[in-house]
Amino acid sequence: MSQASANLNVMIKAARRAGRSLIRDFGEVEKLQVSTKGAGDFVSKADIRAEEIVREELTTARPNYGWLGEESDEVKGADPTRRWIVDPLDGTTNFLHGLPHWAVSIALEHKREIVAAVVYDPIRDEMFTAEKGAGCWLNDNRQRVSARRQMIEMLFATGLPFGGRSDLPDTLQDLARILPSCSGVRRFGSAALDLAYVAAGRYDGFWERRLKPWDMAAGLLLVREAGGLIAPIEPDKDVLEDGAVIAGNSEGFAAFARLVRGG
């Protein structure tokens, strides 16, 4: 991105620094001390250290902004209109199993709207960035959602419930409706990267329930700035608050959304 704002440059710097730390820990993944945070949901010292790095970079540069991160308590900023929304390691389970598919996700919210976003994949050195009105970029290349029109040609991504979560029946019903109509569904284990891949045209759409704001805040802006569409699964809900999202290209979005919603 040739002319990033000062805020976006701060975000990129924070993501790269956290990414370097995570890469070092990923090389010694079997030695990490891991504690259980919940059924199927793990947190590692690497995860916490990455959040500390991101928080240090962001709060040093913008001490008045609020903070919402996965591994720490929310902080109300002196500027009540702006806050950082951060997942320092999206794809923690992949990371802890040695699977090279995870990312650092950072979003800036202004007056309840996401205005800047970074999703960084340190393994592939892919930096997805977006600012409101400035498009979506992968490193120095402008990104657009796919232009596929036919559902049977489309590839989708989702998350699958784990550890006895109650939304498994809903997801199985989704798959029963969607799989016969498309070219495939992938479950790679990082919502942030799933949304970034929709923005880059690698996936034609993504849906998932019970996400947290830090899982998707950055990815939502990437998709919008790449020309894609975002909607809640239940039409009267707010995506960030409800955590259930449909994302896709503009050509096939209506048909995709109908299948997800069971219409």
Mean pLDDT of 67-85: 93
pLDDT digit string (tens) for 141-174? Answer: 999 999 999 999 999 999 998 877 788 888 999 9
pLDDT attached to residue 32? 66
For residues 68 and 126, membership in a common domain is answered with: yes
Tally of domains in the chain: 2
Is residue 253's pLDDT more than 80?
A: yes
d(CA 31, CA 33): 6
State which residues form the domain around 247: 151-261
Average pLDDT over the chain, rounded to whole?
93
Per the document, the length of the chain is 263
CATH code of the domain in which 241 resides: 3.40.190.80
Verdict on whether the full-model pTM lies above 0.85: yes
Residue with token string 């079997």: 30
Rounded to the nearest 5°, which phi and psi values hold at 11?
Answer: -65, -45
- Give the percent of the chain with pLDDT over 90: 82
- Secondary structure (DSSP) of the chain: -TT--HHHHHHHHHHHHHHHHHHHHHTTGGG--EEEEETTEEEEHHHHHHHHHHHHHHHHH-TTSEEEETTS--B--SSTTEEEEEEEEETHHHHHTT-S--EEEEEEEETTEEEEEEEEETTTTEEEEEETTS-EEETTEEE-------GGG-EEEE----TT-TTHHHHHHHHHHHGGGSSEEE--S-HHHHHHHHHTTSSSEEEESS--HHHHHHHHHHHHHTT-EEEESSTTS-HHHH--EEEE-TTTHHHHHHHHHT-
pLDDT digit string (tens) for 186-238? Answer: 999 999 999 999 999 999 999 999 999 999 999 999 999 999 999 999 998 99
Burial classification of residue 27, based on how many CB atoms lie within 10 Å of its CB (0-12 exposed, 13-18 middle, 19 or more buried): exposed
For residues 109 and 183, membership in a common domain is answered with: no
Confidence of residue 28 (pLDDT cuts 50, 70, 90): confident
pLDDT attached to residue 252? 94
Positive or negative, the CA dihedral 83, 240, 230, 235 is: negative
pLDDT attached to residue 178? 97
pLDDT attached to residue 166? 80
pLDDT attached to residue 87? 97
Does residue 1 fall inside a structural domain?
Answer: no
Residue 126 structure tokens: 């892919």
For residues 163 and 115, membership in a common domain is answered with: no
pLDDT digit string (tens) for 98-147? Answer: 899 999 999 999 999 999 999 999 999 999 999 999 999 999 999 999 99
pLDDT attached to residue 107? 98
Does residue 114 fall inside a structural domain?
Answer: yes
Is residue 41's pLDDT more than 60?
A: no
For residues 139 and 24, membership in a common domain is answered with: yes
CATH code of the domain in which 30 resides: 3.30.540.10
End-to-end CA distance of the chain: 40
For residues 206 and 98, membership in a common domain is answered with: no
